[in-house]
Chains A and B, each alone.
Chain A
Amino acid sequence: MTGSRERVLARVRAALADVPREEAPEDAPVPRGYAREHGLGDPVALLADRLVDYRAVVHRVRPAGLARTVGAALQRRGPGPFVVPPGLPEAWLQRAGVEVVHDDGLGVAELDAAAGVVTGCAVAIAETGTIVLDAGADQGRRAITLVPDYHLCVVPAERIVASVPQALPHLDPLRPLTWISGPSATSDIELDRVEGVHGPRTLEVVIVEDAG
């Protein structure tokens, strides 16, 4: 295996004979004149608009209305059980009235039998309608937001940024990340978009805005 490593690297170096020996990688110029954000307006409204465009269900609530909205959404999906990550704030589920299972390493069969999952998020990106999960305490490991067919995600307004360039500095690449822009979808049949393939077929997002 070492042989091939040296062979590939030697071929690459030979192919780059035209590059001056003294040139360092950073010497090759990269123009960074692109925008840090595109000034498309209020990030909360923009995020909601983009998510609806992807056919997600979106609510905008004040902190006082969060538990009621989460509860009503879960009750519409049935009695449960709903999987929640270990660090999900208790207050979110105060008025749920459904069966809740805390993930302590549930097997795929148990996840498959669950009615849905409730999480927070690390960052949300308004311009692209994207929610990013980074396996934080209120989000849990990747499998719990993947196997159940329904995902309810709570997005505090202070975690919303305008653009992709603004999102990356908030994210730690050493953690496993999942960027979610709407429910799973395919356009593989005549480019007709169909929502709901292997990932959760329903994505419901509750954006929490401070009264201020």
Chain B
Amino acid sequence: MSTTFVGMPAFPDAARAATGNAQLRHNLRKATHTIRDKRAAVVDELDDWARLRAAGAAIKDRVLRHLDVYLERLEASVTAAGGTVHWAADAAEANRIVTDLVRATGHDEVVKVKSMATQEIGLNEALGEAGITAYETDLAELIVQLGDDTPSHILVPAIHRNRSEIREIFRTRMAEWGVPAPEGLTDDPRALAEAARVHLREKFLSTKVAISGANFAVADTGTLVVLESEGNGRMCLTLPDTLISVVGIEKVVPTWSDLEVFLQLLPRSSTGERMNPYTSTWTGVTPGDGPREFHLVLLDNGRSATLADTVGRQALRCIRCSACLNICPVYERAGGHAYGSVYPGPIGAILTPQLRGVTSELDASLPYASSLCGACYEVCPVAIDIPEVLVHLRERVVEGKGHRAEKAAMAAAGWVFGDDRRLALAQRAAGAARGLVPRHLPGPGAAWTDTRDIPDIPPESFRDWWRKRHTKEGEQ
């Protein structure tokens, strides 16, 4: 079972540890630079990219502003096509629904397509407690699962691992889960992919229950859409008798033709390809082709609370492409684990605190895990203004508990700046004491001066200098 993010330290502590890991920084730098260059090349090919982006944002906004209508429409279409729709208010309920559905089939093994929603709710752990084994089938998810690890990237969850680490994980762990790694396995990516193919083949051909997420759910037709590369998705969506899809309520798009926008935006933004190798779409069940039973679990788990914030709401437009991770200078250095959530990087820094609230130290620190450079907004295919939401969430954190020192400092500053004489006195006092100022601050200021020098305090304030100069000029 993969471990969870529970008990993670706040972002600055986790990031400090991560940035000290030279191997991790090397892996991340190589990977993020490769993928951002590929993305830029295929985005530049389309001269209407800005208009596609505007349309993508507007379609998602339309859905969000009328989400209740579209959810009911989706439910009706899926039901009419032979599927069964379930509603889950939170993670515990979703896990209970899925566990009961798997139990009802009489099987105790499931194959899984990579899905952020099921990671978010900790479905594998919940199934494990119920005696059901979930096999992750995406290569990177397999690496994470076998390595008893947590994902560090939305698209490439094992981006923090290099080929020799992966070889070691396969060599030592595959046998516990099924077909062992071949003798003499090398660290050639081809050989590693072949080992994964052989390891999973028998599971695909024999497992009767599959669990997936979805990239999109079309309200008008009840069609679900999964984009993937390896064919593990097709295996899970086609061969088992029962398919259970856990889908966040924000994944709805209004109509079939709206996919013409997202099927152009998503592959180019995520893998930097003109199109990903495989996209599957299905509507309910089709006799003689694919699963005989289809269940759709609609997941809220903090999304409706996010929707209530008119500034933060735009985070729900996210189509999980991960372009913002690949471009982010903070992500590139700190890596995904420091964010303490299945949603790392800039989008995680605005999504996680909204889905979970800003009550924990970790979640309250996430809106600060950014230099506000704005590169994430530039590359976002649905134009989420991540810096705007970050600043908005910082306000929310400051209004709540935490950051007491900052609050006290700002209150004191307000008092000083609010009165001309108080400011003059404070400045002269600072000027007189300049020789006594240490390089590092004690107490709550310590973290700030860990990474910066305290600016030198000038002997004379600007206001004093101006007054003297003005007086001199007046004398002339």
**A residues engaging B (CB < 8 A)?**
1, 4-5, 7-9, 11-19, 23-26, 28-35, 38, 50, 54, 105, 108-109, 112, 125, 127-130, 135, 141-143, 146-147, 164-165, 168-169, 173-192, 194, 196-200
Contact = CB atoms under 8 A, between A and B. Distances in A.
B162 interface: yes
B27 to A, nearest CB: 7
Contacts of B310: 18
Interface in B216-263: 218, 221, 223, 229-232, 234-235, 238-239, 249, 254, 256-257, 259-261, 263
A109 B205 contact: yes
B30 interface: yes
A33 B87 CA distance: 36
B189 A30 contact: no
> Helix, strand, loop or mixed for chain B's interface?
helix
Contacts of B47: 35, 38
A31 B51 contact: yes
Given A15-B307, A19-B65, A165-B260, A190 B277 contact: no
A130 B93 CA distance: 39
A178 B156 contact: no
The 6 closest A-B pairs by CB, nearest first: A199-B231, A198-B231, A15-B308, A11-B304, A179-B279, A28-B62
B61 interface: yes
B274 A128 contact: yes
Contact of B48 (A23, A24, A35, A142): A35
Contacts of A169: 257
A152 B189 CA distance: 26
Contact of A142 (B31, B86, B279, B289): B289
Interface stretch (B9-17, B280-288, B396-404, B456-464): B280-288
Contacts of A191: 30-31, 34-35, 156, 159
Contacts of B46: 35, 38
A31 B163 contact: no
B180 to A, nearest CB: 18
B232 A168 contact: no
A36 to B, nearest CB: 9
B275 interface: yes
Nearest to A18: B310
A29 to B, nearest CB: 6
B190 A32 contact: no
A29 B47 CA distance: 22
B300 interface: yes
B52 to A, nearest CB: 5
